Amino acid sequence: MEDFVLSKLVGEAVDNICQVNPKYENFVVIENGKKVLYLQLLKALYGCVQSALLWYDLFTNTLVQMGFKLNPYNLCVANSQIKGKQCTIAWYVNDNKISHVDDTVVTNIIERLKSSLGK
């Protein structure tokens, strides 16, 4: 995470995290009669706005390194000429669509993305 981001845990979530690491019990406070624990995020966490931006930057930079160009009208679409034909990748949140007339190109791109993104 690039900014200072806090996560607020309340109630049962506090008990669960304290079971995992009892050191957190020292930082539990009571607010409005409920246990509360504030944690600073050091890495991206699903659901945070900044996490989504970090993922977008990583994904688009990976595509650009692979030779794709972002569509200036829709920044969630990238195109590249591969084997003389257009290849298009479009995405929304965690859904991706890759299209090319040659299915081996699609398979190759998927494998390159897996390799680059650690999946």
Per-residue confidence (pLDDT) for residue 119, from 0 to 100: 63
**Least-confidence region, from 38-47, 58-67, 70-79, 84-93:** 38-47
What ranges do the domains of the chain cover?
6-40, 49-117
Measured in residues, the chain has a length of 119
Q: Does the reported pTM lie above 0.75?
A: no
For the cut 80, the answer to whether the pLDDT of residue 1 exceeds it is: no
Amino acid at 7: S
Q: What is the mean predicted confidence (pLDDT) over 87-105?
A: 94
For the cut 70, the answer to whether the pLDDT of residue 26 exceeds it is: yes
pLDDT band of residue 66 (cuts 50, 70, 90) is: very high
CA distances from 22 to 16, 17, 40, 94, 97 (A): 10, 8, 17, 34, 44
